[in-house]
Amino acid sequence: MSLTDPLPFSTTPPARCDSVWRGATLVTMQDGHYNLIENGAIVVADGKIVWLGPVADCPPFPDAEQHEFAGGIITPGFVDCHTHLVFGGNRSGEFEQRLNGVSYAEIAASGGGIISTVNATREATEEELIESALFRLRPLLAEGVTCVEIKSGYGLSIDSELKMLRVIRTLATRLAVEVKSTCLAAHALPPEYKNRPDEYIRLICDTLLPIVARENLADAVDAFCEHLAFSPAQVEQVFNAAKALGLPVKLHAEQLSSLHGSALAARHGALSADHLEYATEDDAIAMAAGGTVAVLLPGAFYLLREKQQPPVAFFRQHKVPMALASDANPGTSPVLSLRLMLNMGCTLFGLTPEEALAGVTCHGARALGLQDSHGTLAPGKAADFIHWPLSRPAELVYWLGGELPCTVVYRGNVRGNHYL
């Protein structure tokens, strides 16, 4: 927090408003810092913040709905900018097998691993996929997520990828949450294309992505750049096809080895490069130049018991914004709590609590291209915020597990339990 930063609110009061929320400390997260306003007020009209500042400076607005808090803090709604929440089945059986001593190779040989999720996802109906995704979304929403990104990538065929993307679009209509959809067809090589990765990449570029763009099924295109997935050259083809269709790109990069996918993503102006345990200083410099957010995913790092930490010091030094996300997925990160990721981002990766909170608010929003409408408390932003009966923002990072009581406001309305 800096006391010298300019105050993040305009001094002109709005002409009219729907609701006023008073009496808590505002954790605005402007510019990635706490930027606290003690005993603050937020004025909302048409689902957007139209004014905020100290209660003492807030006009009365007698006709508006009045909400009084007796202390506590208000943060921006949380943004989970990297999830794979839509999938068939789950891999808890495999998790148990591994802990019973069965090797990865044996599990893969018996049809386990990502292919088991691909098969279950292909077999599931859209309604089954919606129901199982809702089961996983609800806990995330209960602790304050107001915006979530969800990727495809377990269909790996034209029909099944389109099915996943339609399910993601439908989820946005089932719960009071902003949903961004990402096409991750280049997630793994489908069994039908064994030893023919270039043909699969051509199918994505020439057939799938044009349909996705025409039917407005995705807001971005992602790929997995890794020895066990796709090469930088193959990823670049996907990026070129996406950009020709006007779709922004992002990339799973440097999770298990260094292929400089993050620098490639940055050269293509990617919204984000994600994982990044093996990223180098040169990658960080390229990401800073490209305006690419570093999305850190401590859940997968934890579950895989990885040792290589992402180069947080280089990201700090070169001013690469760092986001944190759940990476909720059946294989490597069955995470249903973004607040747990705040703690793990600090304990496992060495983030400060302020950086961690910025990672699920303003920088998480930037990783989705939503920096102008989400992620901070500021006039003009969506009225998505959370009231917590806590004394300081670090408590959000400090308490480990459990459920903290909170009041979630989504587009200016209290999001009740009937959504959950």
Nearer to Zn ion, 226 or 354 (CB): 226
Q: CB of 212: closest distance to Zn ion in angstroms?
A: 18
Q: CB of 335: closest distance to Zn ion in angstroms?
A: 11
- Beta-bridge partners for 253: 225, 275
Nearer to Zn ion, 178 or 327 (CB): 327
| Residues near Zn ion (CB under 5 A), total | 1
Distance, CA of 51 to CA of 233 (rounded, Å) = 48
67 annotated ligand binder: no
Nearer to Zn ion, 77 or 330 (CB): 330
331 annotated ligand binder: yes
Q: CB of 368: closest distance to Zn ion in angstroms?
A: 14
What's the sign of the alpha-carbon dihedral 49, 54, 60, 66?
positive
Residue from 222, 256, 261 nearest 104 by CA:
256
What's the sign of the alpha-carbon dihedral 133, 219, 46, 383?
positive
187 annotated ligand binder: yes
Q: Is 46 helix (H, G, I), strand (E, B) or coil?
A: coil
Q: CB of 72: closest distance to Zn ion in angstroms?
A: 34
Other CB atoms within 10 A of residue 18 CB: 18
255 annotated ligand binder: yes
CB 145 within 8 A of CB 79: yes
Site residues (CB under 5 A) for Zn ion, limited to 6-65: none
Q: CB of 174: closest distance to Zn ion in angstroms?
A: 22
Residue from 279, 165, 169, 173 nearest 222 by CA:
165
H or E, element range at 205: none
169 annotated ligand binder: no
Nearer to Zn ion, 14 or 89 (CB): 89
Site string for Zn ion, 309-338 (x = CB under 5 A): ------------------x-----------
Nearer to Zn ion, 18 or 327 (CB): 327
35 annotated ligand binder: no
Site string for Zn ion, 74-113 (x = CB under 5 A): ----------------------------------------
Nearer to Zn ion, 299 or 311 (CB): 299
Taking CA atoms, 57 is separated from 42, 43, 73, 300, in Å, by 11, 12, 18, 46
Residue from 400, 403, 373, 372 nearest 388 by CA:
403
Distance, CA of 65 to CA of 242 (rounded, Å) = 45
- Beta-bridge partners for 24: 40
Q: CB of 32: closest distance to Zn ion in angstroms?
A: 23
138 annotated ligand binder: no
- Beta-bridge partners for 407: 387
Residue whose CB is nearest to Zn ion in the complex, by number:
327
* Residue partners of 70: CB distance under 8 A and separation at least 6: 23
Q: CB of 115: closest distance to Zn ion in angstroms?
A: 17
Give binding residues for 4-imidazolone-5-propanoate as ranges: 91, 154, 187, 255, 332
Give binding residues as ranges: 82, 84, 91, 154, 187, 252, 255, 327, 329, 331-332
Binding site for Zn ion (CB under 5 A): 327
